[in-house]
Structure 1
Amino acid sequence: MTTSSRDSLPRRAPWWWYPDASSEGPTPREFEVVSPGQHWVRAIDVEATPEGLFAWVTQLRRAPYSYDWIDNFGRRSPQSLDRSMVNVSVGDSVMTIFTVIAVEPGTSMTVKMKAGRPTSLFGSLTVHYEVEARGGKSRLIVEMVVPQSPGPLKTMRRYVLAWGDLLMMRKQLKELKRLAESTALLS
């Protein structure tokens, strides 16, 4: 595995999503990748502590927290925090199609696409989830590395995947934000 950071990522959809244009966007991350490729970034600011937000990121081991009717076989993603999921380890399964390859407890989790059907459909993806402290609040930054394969069909597939991922990841980030903020209100 190699270490990678984004270089000249265009800050526009579908490669980039950050809803708060009034503040400074995410900064480059350093993390392990399965194979080099194009970096896509999605980020959202959250009115919760970094610890509270990261606890919800770890819940991705249970469910995708996106459009459940598409990627969770119609089952609703759990709406209560399972504290037994908070301690993430390398090798843990995430959203059934990813495996944890690196973790910094309380801060970040990097996952890779499992071999088999998911990889044949989407490629050897690496996804890095990182929680950044922002003065009592936090920001969730997700950076995905998608292998770049030559050829017009592969380029078109990557473009379609980028739009599909933008829709799914946007929903996931908004759900994690909602859950972390509602949990913070209860504390």
Structure 2
Amino acid sequence: MTSQRTGGMAGAVAAFLTAAYLMVVRPRLLRAGATDGEVHGPYPGAGLIPDGTRSATMAVTIDAPRSRVWPWLVQMGTRRGGWYSWDRLDNFGRRSAGTIHPEWQDAAVGDRLAATPDGSQWWEVAALEPEKFLGLRMSIDLRGRPFDPAGERPRHFTDSLWGFELKDAAGGRTRLVVSGYWSFRPQWLQPALSILVLEPSHWVMQTRQFSNLKRLVESESS
């Protein structure tokens, strides 16, 4: 009876914690810093990922105009300016740039921004509207091999758009809204993978990127 009671209590605690995460914590992860309008309103790039679903929407206000934020975004890439997040985790220990590099400012649709030091995986510039929107797309199978998104998709794959939208905010500031779209196969695995792995890890990395971008842009603007 004691073991059954203990098991029942453990199950109840686990159920409570799961419910608390899904109802309280997860919604905060999915919209950190974003307003209702930013979460529920339209977001650029909706047609770029076939069968894509809207991903988390996160935002930050930067005390500088869009023209000062944009150069930091277009120079991103593993063999370029980095990603301004936790460099040990997403930039292979290489420190992200602390200044603007003129040689990395000429981004164009179709450019590949390396995601690994050897360039075997990359984010492709799928959409670009200077000082307004940058959409980065990664299309790989579940063995980590890139595929051509214009052709036939593999049986198992992940195809996603990581978007950066810049909007004017009061006082000459910039509202940076990050969201995107995601398609994954096998489809039955997508919800569990998203909830258990991708959403928490994205929150960790994106909030760090926001913090560093805000610091870099505002210190450079002062």
* TM-score, normalisation: structure 2: 0.69
The DSSP-based 3-state class of the residue aligned with 1:90 is: coil
User: Hey, what's the Cα distance between the residues in 2 that align with 1:156 and 1:77?
Assistant: 32
Q: Out of 159, 162, 173, which is 1:137 matched to?
A: 173
Larger radius of gyration: 2
Equivalent pair of 2:157/2:184 in contact (CA under 8 Å) = no
**Count of residues paired in the alignment:** 171
- By relative contact order (CA 8 Å, sep 6+), the higher-ranking structure is 1
Question: Among the aligned pairs, what percent are the same residue?
Answer: 25
Deviations 1:95-154 (A, max 9, x none): 523100110012211110043517799821111111111131101111121226532x43
The DSSP-based 3-state class of the residue aligned with 1:13 is: helix
Equivalent pair of 1:59/1:86 in contact (CA under 8 Å) = yes
Unaligned 5+ residue runs, structure 2? Answer: 1-25, 116-121, 147-153
User: Hey, what's the Cα distance between the residues in 1 that align with 2:210 and 2:114?
Assistant: 14
Q: Out of 24, 37, 42, which is 1:28 matched to?
A: 42
User: RMSD over aligned Cα, in angstroms?
Assistant: 2.5
Residue 204 of structure 2 aligns with an amino acid whose one-letter code is L
Give the structure with the larger helix fraction.
2
Deviations 1:10-49 (A, max 9, x none): x923321117xxx776353232422311321111000011
Aligned-residue offset at 1:182:
0.8
2:192 maps to 1:156: yes
Residue 127 of structure 1 aligns with which residue?
162
Equivalent pair of 2:123/2:138 in contact (CA under 8 Å) = yes
Give the structure with the larger strand fraction.
1
Equivalent pair of 2:54/2:179 in contact (CA under 8 Å) = no
The DSSP-based 3-state class of the residue aligned with 1:33 is: coil
The DSSP-based 3-state class of the residue aligned with 2:73 is: helix
User: Hey, what's the Cα distance between the residues in 2 that align with 1:55 and 1:144?
Assistant: 20
User: Hey, what's the Cα distance between the residues in 1 that align with 2:137 and 2:213?
Assistant: 20
Off by >3 Å, runs of 4+ in structure 1: 118-122
Equivalent pair of 2:164/2:178 in contact (CA under 8 Å) = yes
Q: Out of 36, 53, 57, which is 1:37 matched to?
A: 53
2:187 maps to 1:171: no
* TM-score, normalisation: structure 1: 0.80
Unaligned 5+ residue runs, structure 1? Answer: 1-10
Equivalent pair of 2:161/2:182 in contact (CA under 8 Å) = yes
Equivalent pair of 1:45/1:138 in contact (CA under 8 Å) = yes
